[in-house]
């Protein structure tokens, strides 16, 4: 309280407190609370008006303010207060639609000298709220009939209002029709109503209502995160195309009212408004006569800071009587916004400078100097605000340097700027960036371009040197002498040969590492160890029975495609008759407890839990879980690969015979244009990948692939809802550097899986003698030829 009391003192003394005293929305909220607590009307008015101007209104604080103003009017009977309240209502409802504020406005109407205007606005705008149309009409009828009209003209006005209302799809439209019929019966004048036409209008509106109820129901029952998508789906539905323009625009108003913090909703509304022509005579409502620039200004008040919104406002200002002063005010407002990274501000500076370039008089020295000063201001502002994080790729300097080479006419300055660009980040290792620089230099100074080619091709760790080398050779064929071309070819061949050797060396190193990792996997996999031991038994004397016995003692949690152990050492007491309601859980950590495993099935009633243990009482890494029904089994199967103690558990239906438990590949084997395969993501989590891919479209699912031990494989699959979103993400994220890893992205197209030959028996050995169990006697016929051991079949059964 002490802190904000001091801030309140400075706030009240300042002429423009939003520029010097208070910046944050939370500070305004605290100042308003303090003003209400102190019951100081002057403080309340200044705090609330300033907050509404900069951040829009909060319904509850607005209503408290209005109640306080009404109480002041009740005390003083000062009619200027009623005028002030009327203006507050109008300003609030012109910013954002709120049914609560509209209701309070209706209740305020009898006190105001503008009650006819209030009802005119409500009937023109808010009748399109299909959930409240009947209520608003009921309020209006009560107001209108307090002093029954005595002229036919006034009754015809009633007919017009009800006719409009009945053409609008809304809930309780039957009650609206009954009220209309009742008013016409009680009228002393002939209302001249064609009831057959009214019935047809009413029927058509009800049919439209039926077509949209599902969309409205989905919106009402959805969370705040889902609403923007559902509103867009609603507005793009074919059913809404036949609705009148005002009705569709009111849905947009509802969307930006309920999703006011989402920039995309406001941008969609602006684009809709740009695409329609509005008759001024038919646009008396607050919303309906607003132009796209008005809507953008509202968006910048309510929505989260958005680069696209500021860019859209610049676009609208450029199209509507361009003014450098107004454009600068937008840029200054963007600089005060709370962006979390320098990229949005960098892009806005580029947009701002691009618009200035289009309107600057570059034929005069004064015009060129103005543009240069703006480039200098942009670069200094970014450096001051973000330091070394600002424009790490040097995009502003690239644009400035290119303009110096061309329109600004100072090639030396352009070259100096491009040299600065090449010193940023990894620009010096990118062939594409070098080619941009060389192209500009080559137009003015071919000899300088040749020096840049020579410098660029020698850069260590240069990406795609083949592209740069080919471009240099073409350049010398066009501009160079024979000696220049020969020198270029010799140097490029030498560098490319070294590059190829380096690539081959890295490939061999990678293959060696893969072989080493493969050996480690074989050591960890008892199946592979047993197979290799059997294959080497006849050729080496190292595989003694004692060693074989040790290998057999290695225990590994069984996978879904392994035989279920049935040895006497198991402690399983499962009832095979209940296999249809039992799941088999494997790949468990040996230290996993029953409580931890039960915790992985939080919403399921476990009838019986059977943890299989070895003879010494240790967990063998798998268990059986009996559930209530087969439906619960299907739900449990959806939890396959959920981690326990960092290790994914494998869940399958319980079937004792392996042929019944044949492993089925759960994912598509065909190319999926909406799904991306991401390689090189290291230990990235699902949330990390979502943050990278989310800007390019709606994501359906992200699947990070893990090893059996719970460690990530470094690959993932990202599925988008739309093909265009997947393609956009592919173009933008491929070769994206995430920490020390470089992401490689491709359309998901897994190789064809070979068919499994079910009729082929498992071959345990190829030519090796039968493996003996320790202690078993060797057969006496071991050295008898195979043809003698087999039974002979003689003709006639002899």
The vertex-517 CA angle with 512 and 521, nearest 5°, equals 150
Burial of 431 (0-12, 13-18, 19+ CB in 10 A): buried
Give CA separation, 769 vs 535, 669, 762, 783, in Å: 10, 40, 16, 11
Residue 321, domain member (yes or no): no
Residue pair 187/148 in contact by the 8 Å Cβ criterion:
no
Quick one: 289 and 248 in the same domain? yes
pLDDT at 307: 93
Q: Which of 650, 623, 651, 656 is nearest to 637 (CA)?
A: 651
Please report which helix (H) or strand (E) contains residue 702, including its range: strand 699-706
pLDDT above 80: residue 485:
yes
Query: Looking at the predicted structure, is the pLDDT value of residue 766 above 60?
Result: no
Decide: helix, strand or coil at residue 741.
strand
501 occurs within a structural domain = no
Structural domain count of the chain: 4
Q: Give the number of other CB atoms < 10 A from CB of residue 628.
A: 12
- Which of 304, 320, 348 delimits the end of a domain? 304
Residue 791, classified by CB atoms within 10 Å of its CB into exposed (0-12), middle (13-18) or buried (19+), is: exposed
pLDDT, residue 37, reads 87
> Which residues are within 8 A (CB) of 164 and not within 5 positions of it... i.e. 6 or more apart?
123, 127
Task: Give the model's pLDDT for residue 299.
Answer: 93
SS3 content of the chain, % helix, strand, coil (to 5): 60, 10, 30
Residues 204 and 244 in one domain: no
444 neighbors 429 (Cβ within 8 angstroms): no
Task: Report whether pLDDT(776) > 80.
Answer: no
Q: Is residue 447 exposed (0-12), middle (13-18) or buried (19+ Cβ within 10 Å)?
A: exposed
d(CA 114, CA 105): 11
In a domain, 607, yes or no: yes
Helix (H) or strand (E) segment spanning residue 608: strand 608-613
Phi/psi of residue 716, nearest 5 degrees: -155, 165
Residues 299 and 229 in one domain: yes
The pLDDT assigned to 95 comes to: 86
Q: Is there a domain that residue 403 lies in?
A: no
Spatial contact of 239 and 211, defined as CB atoms under 8 Å apart: yes
Is 512 within a domain?
A: no
Q: How confident is the model at residue 401 (pLDDT cuts 50, 70, 90)?
A: very high
* pLDDT digits 0-9 by tens, 538-584: 444 444 444 444 444 444 444 444 444 443 334 456 677 788 889 98
Residues 571 and 655 in one domain: yes
Confidence of residue 433 (pLDDT cuts 50, 70, 90): very high
d(CA 182, CA 177): 9
Give the integer Cα–Cα distance in Å for 731 and 745: 9
| Mean predicted confidence (pLDDT) in 725-749 | 83
Q: Nearest-CA neighbor of 401 among 464, 353, 330? A: 353
Q: What is the pTM of this model?
A: 0.61
Same-domain pairing of 143 and 239: no
Pair 133, 196 in one domain: yes
Helix axes 324-336, 342-359, angle to 10 degrees: 180
Rounded to whole angstroms, how far apart are CA atoms 708 and 294?
A: 57
Query: What pLDDT shows up at residue 130?
Result: 82
d(CA 289, CA 298): 14
pLDDT at res. 527: 57
Same domain, 257 and 210: no
Q: How many CA atoms lie within 13 A of 387 on its CB side?
A: 1
User: Residue 585 carries which DSSP code?
Assistant: E
Q: Measure the CA–CA gap between 562 and 622, rounded to whole angstroms.
A: 12
Compare 574 and 775 and report the one with higher pLDDT: 574
pLDDT digits (tens, 9 = 90+) for 12-58: 777 765 555 556 777 778 888 888 888 888 888 888 888 888 888 88
Q: How confident is the model at residue 82 (pLDDT cuts 50, 70, 90)?
A: very high
Cα–Cα nearest to 475, from 446, 503, 455: 446
The CA-CA-CA angle for residues 263, 265, 268, to 5°, reads 110
Place of tokens 């061309």: 406
Go through 575-589 and write b for each residue having 16 or more CB atoms within 10 A of its CB, e for each that does not: eeeebebbbbbbbbb
Which tokens go with 125? Answer: 């705008």
Residues 140 and 189 both lie in one domain:
yes
Above 90 in pLDDT, residue 415? yes
> What are all long-range contacts of 653-661, with beta carbons under 8 Å and residues at least 24 apart?
653/579, 653/583, 653/584, 654/574, 654/579, 654/582, 654/583, 654/584, 654/624, 655/579, 656/564, 656/576, 656/579, 658/561, 658/563, 659/758, 661/560, 661/561, 661/584
Contacts of 614-619 with CB under 8 Å at 24 or more apart are: 614/555, 614/569, 614/570, 615/569, 618/590, 619/588, 619/590, 619/591, 619/592
Same domain, 579 and 654: yes
User: Residue 564 sits in which domain range?
Assistant: 557-661
Q: Which of 162, 190, 221 is the last residue of a domain?
A: 221
Query: What gap in Å lies between CA 9 and CA 4, rounded to an integer?
Result: 8
Q: How far apart are the first and last CA of the chain?
A: 112
Cα dihedral 479→483→489→495 (10° resolution): -110
Using a pLDDT cut of 90, give the percent of the chain over it.
Answer: 26
Rounded-to-integer distance, Cα 683 and Cα 686, Å:
10
Which of the listed residues 598, 631, 661 is the one where a domain comes to its end?
661
Q: What confidence category does residue 349 fall into, taking pLDDT thresholds of 50, 70 and 90? A: very high
Whole-number pLDDT of residue 751: 65
Let me know whether 168 and 238 are in one domain.
no
Nearest to 605 by CA among 635, 645, 649: 635
DSSP 339: -
The tokens describing 365, both together, are: 């020295």
Q: Is residue 366 part of a domain?
A: no
When mean pLDDT is compared over 80-94, 634-648, 704-718, the highest value belongs to 80-94
pLDDT at 570: 43
pLDDT of residue 467: 93
Domain-embedded: residue 401: no
User: Is 70 exceeded by the pLDDT of residue 744?
Assistant: yes
Q: Tell me: do 742 and 725 sit in the same domain.
A: yes
Residue 365: φ, ψ to 5°: -65, -35
CATH of the domain at 719: 3.30.70.330
Higher pLDDT, 492 or 776: 492
Q: What is the DSSP string of 442-453?
A: HHH-HHHHHHHH
Q: Please indicate whether residue 227 or residue 669 has the higher confidence score (pLDDT).
A: 227
Return the structure tokens found at 565.
């152990």
Please, are residues 160 and 193 in contact by the beta-carbon 8 Å criterion? no
Q: When comparing pLDDT for 672 and 527, which is higher? A: 672
pLDDT at 87: 92
Q: Is the pLDDT of residue 436 over 50?
A: yes
Residue 341 pLDDT more than 70? yes
pLDDT of amino acid 265: 94
Give the model's pLDDT for residue 754. 53
What's the pLDDT at 526? Answer: 59
Q: What is the mean pLDDT of the chain?
A: 81
- Three-class SS of residue 738? strand
pLDDT tens-digit series, residues 295-319? 999 999 899 989 999 999 999 999 8
Cα–Cα distances in angstroms (integers) from residue 794 to residues 544, 785, 790, 791, 798, in the given order: 42, 19, 13, 10, 5
Are both 263 and 215 inside the same structural domain? no
Average confidence (pLDDT) over 454-477: 92
User: Whole-angstrom Cα distance, residue 621 to residue 640?
Assistant: 15
Q: Cα 151 vs. chain centroid, distance in angstroms?
A: 59
Pick from 529, 509, 507: nearest CA to 519: 529
pLDDT digits (tens, 9 = 90+) for 158-206: 788 888 889 888 888 888 888 888 888 877 766 778 888 889 998 988 8
- The residue with greater pLDDT, 665 or 238, is 238
């Amino acid at each position: 309280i002490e802190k904000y009391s001091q801030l309140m003192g400075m706030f009240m003394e300042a002429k423009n407190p939003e520029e010097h005293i208070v910046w944050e929305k939370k500070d305004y909220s605290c100042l308003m609370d303090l003003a209400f607590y102190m019951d100081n009307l002057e403080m309340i008015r200044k705090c609330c008006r300033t907050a509404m101007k900069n951040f829009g209104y909060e319904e509850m604080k607005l209503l408290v303010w209005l109640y306080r103003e009404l109480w002041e009017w009740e005390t003083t009977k000062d009619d200027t207060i009623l005028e002030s309240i009327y203006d507050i209502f109008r300003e609030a409802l012109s910013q954002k639609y709120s049914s609560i504020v509209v209701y309070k406005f209706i209740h305020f109407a009898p006190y105001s000298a503008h009650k006819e205007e209030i009802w005119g606005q409500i009937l023109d705008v808010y009748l399109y709220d299909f959930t409240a149309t009947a209520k608003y009409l009921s309020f209006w009828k009560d107001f209108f009939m307090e002093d029954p009209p005595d002229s036919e003209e006034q009754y015809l006005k009633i007919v017009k209002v009800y006719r409009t209302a009945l053409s609008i799809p809304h809930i309780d439209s039957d009650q609206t029709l009954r009220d209309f019929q009742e008013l016409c019966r009680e009228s002393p004048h002939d209302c001249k109503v064609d009831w057959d036409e009214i019935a047809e209008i009413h029927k058509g509106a009800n049919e439209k209502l039926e077509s949209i109820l599902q969309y409205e129901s989905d919106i009402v029952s959805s969370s705040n995160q889902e609403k923007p998508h559902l509103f867009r789906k609603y507005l793009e539905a074919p059913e809404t195309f036949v609705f009148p323009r005002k009705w569709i625009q009111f849905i947009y108003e509802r969307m930006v009212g309920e999703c006011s913090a989402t920039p995309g909703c406001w941008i969609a509304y602006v684009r809709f408004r740009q695409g329609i022509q509005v008759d001024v005579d038919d646009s008396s409502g607050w919303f309906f006569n607003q132009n796209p620039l008005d809507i953008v200004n509202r968006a910048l008040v309510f929505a989260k800071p958005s680069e696209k919104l500021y860019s859209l406002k610049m676009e609208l200002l450029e199209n509507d009587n361009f003014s450098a002063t107004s454009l600068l005010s937008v840029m200054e407002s963007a600089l005060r916004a709370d962006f979390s990274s320098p990229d949005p501000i960098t892009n806005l500076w580029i947009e701002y400078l691009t618009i200035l370039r289009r309107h600057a008089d570059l034929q005069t020295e004064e015009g060129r100097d103005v543009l240069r000063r703006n480039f200098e201001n942009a670069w200094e502002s970014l450096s001051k605000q973000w330091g070394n994080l600002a424009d790490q790729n040097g995009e502003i300097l690239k644009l400035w340097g290119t303009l110096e080479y061309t329109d600004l006419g100072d090639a030396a300055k352009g070259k100096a700027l491009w040299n600065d660009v090449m010193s940023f980040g990894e620009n010096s290792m990118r062939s594409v960036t070098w080619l941009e620089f060389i192209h500009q230099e080559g137009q003015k100074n071919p000899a300088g371009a040749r020096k840049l080619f020579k410098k660029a091709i020698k850069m260590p760790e240069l990406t795609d040197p083949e592209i740069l080398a080919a471009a240099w050779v073409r350049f010398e064929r066009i501009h160079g002498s024979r000696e220049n071309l020969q020198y270029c070819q010799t140097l490029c061949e030498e560098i490319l040969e070294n590059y190829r050797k380096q690539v081959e060396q890295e490939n061999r190193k990678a293959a060696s590492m893969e072989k080493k990792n493969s050996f480690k996997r074989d050591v960890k996999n008892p199946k592979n160890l047993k197979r290799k031991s059997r294959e080497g038994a006849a050729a080496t004397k190292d595989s003694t029975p004692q060693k074989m016995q040790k290998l057999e003692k290695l225990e590994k949690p069984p996978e879904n495609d392994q035989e279920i152990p049935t040895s006497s050492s198991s402690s399983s007491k499962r009832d095979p008759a209940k296999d249809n309601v039992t799941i088999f859980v494997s790949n468990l950590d040996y230290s996993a407890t029953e409580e931890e495993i039960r915790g992985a099935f939080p919403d399921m009633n476990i009838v019986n839990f059977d943890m299989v243990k070895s003879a010494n009482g240790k967990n063998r890494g798998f268990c059986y879980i009996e559930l209530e029904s087969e439906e619960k089994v299907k739900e449990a199967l959806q939890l396959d690969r959920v981690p326990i103690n960092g290790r994914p558990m494998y869940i399958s239906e319980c079937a004792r015979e392996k042929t019944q438990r044949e492993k089925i590949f759960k994912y598509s084997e065909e190319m999926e244009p909406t799904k991306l395969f991401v390689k090189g993501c290291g230990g990235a989590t699902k949330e990390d990948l979502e943050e990278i891919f989310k800007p390019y479209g709606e994501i359906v699912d992200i699947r990070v692939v893990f090893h059996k031990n719970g460690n990530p494989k470094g690959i993932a699959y990202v599925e988008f809802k739309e093909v265009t979103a997947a393609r956009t993400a592919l173009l933008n994220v491929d070769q994206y550097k995430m920490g020390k890893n470089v992401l490689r992205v491709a359309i998901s197209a897994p190789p064809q899986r070979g068919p499994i030959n079910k009729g082929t028996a498992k071959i345990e050995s190829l030519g090796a003698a039968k493996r003996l169990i320790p202690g078993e006697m060797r057969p006496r016929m071991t050295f008898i030829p195979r043809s003698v051991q087999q039974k002979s079949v003689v003709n006639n059964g002899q």
